[in-house]
Structures are given as C-alpha cells and as structure tokens.
C-alpha cells in the first residue's frame, strides 16, 4: 500500500488484538484498575459482543473470576468463544 500511495502507510489492525477488537484497551484498563486499585474480587459484563470478549480476556489475564451476561440473541459461536476463557460464569 505504501508503494501505491507514494508514502508510508501504517495500519492499526485492531482485529488482531487477542479478543478481536479495540475494546480490549479501555476495558482491560478498567478491569485492571478495579482489581488492583479497588480490590474487586470478581468482574462482570453484560455484553454478547466485543465488550464481553474484552472483559473475559482481561479477567483471564488478571486471574480473576468474571461473569458475562449474554442476551439470548447472542450467536452460539460467540458464546462458545467466551466459554473457552477460564473462570467465566454464564447466566
């Protein structure tokens, strides 16, 4: 792309983040602060999408239990992907 454009092109490929989106940056910071600063013993997130994936990933990295609340409309492949994370409860 750089050659065709005539200048250096840099890509910010958020889809290559471990949970698959940009949400990991903000949510992991929030989770880390909740656990390390505020002393939270368990994390939770109501999301069947990228926010839920980011919270689950952050919880796994922090070795902290996490509850992800999924809407009934969540596609099964997303629910399955979330189940692959450790210490996750589903309701």
Asked if pLDDT for residue 12 goes beyond 60, the answer is: yes
Q: Is 49 among the domain residues? A: yes
H or E element, residue 88 = strand 88-90
Domain count for the chain: 1
C-alpha span between 72 and 6 (Å, rounded): 49
Q: Is 74 among the domain residues? A: yes
pLDDT tens digits for range 27-44: 999 999 999 999 999 999
Q: Is 54 among the domain residues? A: yes
Range of the domain at 47: 17-90
H or E element, residue 33 = helix 23-36
Q: Residue 52 has what pLDDT?
A: 87
Find, among 24, 38, 44, 37, the residue nearest to 87 by Cα.
Answer: 44
Q: Is 2 among the domain residues? A: no
What value does the mean pLDDT take over residues 56-85?
85
Q: Is 7 among the domain residues? A: no
What value does the mean pLDDT take over residues 54-70?
89
* Residue 85 banded pLDDT, cuts 50, 70, 90: low
∠ CA 44-26-68, rounded to 5°: 20
Asked if pLDDT for residue 87 goes beyond 80, the answer is: no
Provide the token pair at 1: 């792309």
Q: Is 10 among the domain residues? A: no
Q: Is 8 among the domain residues? A: no
User: CATH number for the domain including 26?
Assistant: 3.40.50.1100
Q: Is 6 among the domain residues? A: no
């Amino acid at each position: 792309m750089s050659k065709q454009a005539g200048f250096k092109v840099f890509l910010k490929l958020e889809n290559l983040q471990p949970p698959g989106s940009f949400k990991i940056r903000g949510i992991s910071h929030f989770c880390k602060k909740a656990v390390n600063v505020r002393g939270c013993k368990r994390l939770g997130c109501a999301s069947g999408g990228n926010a839920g994936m980011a919270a689950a990933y952050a919880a796994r990295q922090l070795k902290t239990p996490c509850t992800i609340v999924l809407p009934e409309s969540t596609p099964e492949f997303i629910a399955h992907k979330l189940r692959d994370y450790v210490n996750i409860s589903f309701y």
